[in-house]
Amino acid sequence: MNILITGGTGLIGNAFIHQYCAQYQFTVLSRSPLQAKKQLPADVIIIDTLSSLSDLNDFDAVINLAGEPIIDKRWSKQQKQIICDSRWVITQQLVDLFKVSNTPPTVFLSGSAIGVYGNQGNVEIDESYPVDANDFPSQVCERWEKIAQQAEPHTRTIYLRTGIVLSPQGGALKKMLLPFKCGLGGKVGNGQQYMSWIHYQDMISAMDYVLNEQRISGAVNMVAPVPETNQVFSKLLAKALNRIAILPVPKPALKYLLGESSCLLLDSQKVLPKKLLESGFVFSAPSLQLALADML
């Protein structure tokens, strides 16, 4: 299978390529080709712009993971635009290439996030839950998906509604490890908000699964079967590191430090991977205890 992938040097894309480089041929879109060559296997083809492609006829699949990290900086008006453009523009370019292809790729995996659901408290959410964009993260994801939806007449299209990907190599877990190792970890806010997470190995395995499982299309929740509250998550992480989690981060302090983006840590989303489970996908780390034990 010949795959075009954007975001191939990010945490998920990089892991996916290294896992399946012997099975698939990859062409990676990267704004920094020299850096990408250092990170990726030698036989990966690297391009620096989609304008070099007149169509997608040579590809069997497209995986679209490109996007500015959403939590690394405060959400100024300028940063919000960067976050949006980094997702929407490239997705539209890919959709336009699908439209002009005589033999388009048979499947399109396009990035999204569980942020599309907004803050839903203790409500259990599967893929059938209605989306009503009422904050910045949900608005970003909803439009991201609607742009990708334009490809549906031309290919099987999947929206990867991704939760918190746990990996010691990067992302949220790596940022949490240092304070927790130093005994400075604790719950965020009241700790009752649900965190829907997934082990990075299950994430890339699920991507490969939906890539080849022709019965699956539309939104797919890329999360583990057992979401946990932030308080439980903090206690289990501390226990895995043989530490204690006794230093909470008060909600006002977090809002002061992060501004509007604090909603990413304070909002609650109890998301379930209904489509993956019902189609037969098996998680290697269905519980947080197993995931942390494996990684730490």
pLDDT at 111: 97
pLDDT at 193: 96
For the ranges 89-103, 199-213, 229-243, the lowest mean pLDDT is seen at 229-243
Mean pLDDT, all residues of the chain: 94
What confidence tier does 96 reach under pLDDT thresholds 50, 70, 90? very high
181 assigned to some structural domain: no
Q: Which carries the bigger pLDDT value, residue 255 or residue 140? A: 140
248 assigned to some structural domain: no
Rg (CA), the chain: 19
Beta-carbon contacts of residue 184 (< 8 Å; ≥ 6 apart): 247
Checking if the pLDDT of 97 tops 90, the result is yes
Whole-number Å distance between alpha carbons of 143 and 166: 26
pLDDT at 247: 82
Parent domain of 207: 2-167+198-223
Checking if the pLDDT of 267 tops 80, the result is yes
Domain count for the chain, please give it: 1
pLDDT at 169: 86
For the ranges 42-46, 140-144, 193-197, 261-265, the lowest mean pLDDT is seen at 261-265
pLDDT at 183: 77
Beta-carbon contacts of residue 293 (< 8 Å; ≥ 6 apart): 240
CATH number at residue 95: 3.40.50.720
pLDDT at 174: 82
Could you report the per-residue pLDDT of 130-166, keeping only the tens digit for each?
998 789 999 999 999 999 999 999 999 999 999 999 9
pLDDT at 119: 95
Q: Residue range 245-271: average pLDDT?
A: 89
Of 89, 107, 111, whose CA–CA distance to 98 is shortest?
107
Q: Residue range 102-115: average pLDDT?
A: 97
79 assigned to some structural domain: yes
Q: Residue range 180-189: average pLDDT?
A: 85
183 assigned to some structural domain: no
77 assigned to some structural domain: yes
pLDDT at 185: 84
28 assigned to some structural domain: yes
pLDDT at 257: 82
82 assigned to some structural domain: yes
What confidence tier does 170 reach under pLDDT thresholds 50, 70, 90? confident
Checking if the pLDDT of 49 tops 90, the result is yes
115 assigned to some structural domain: yes
Q: Residue range 268-291: average pLDDT?
A: 97
pLDDT at 133: 77
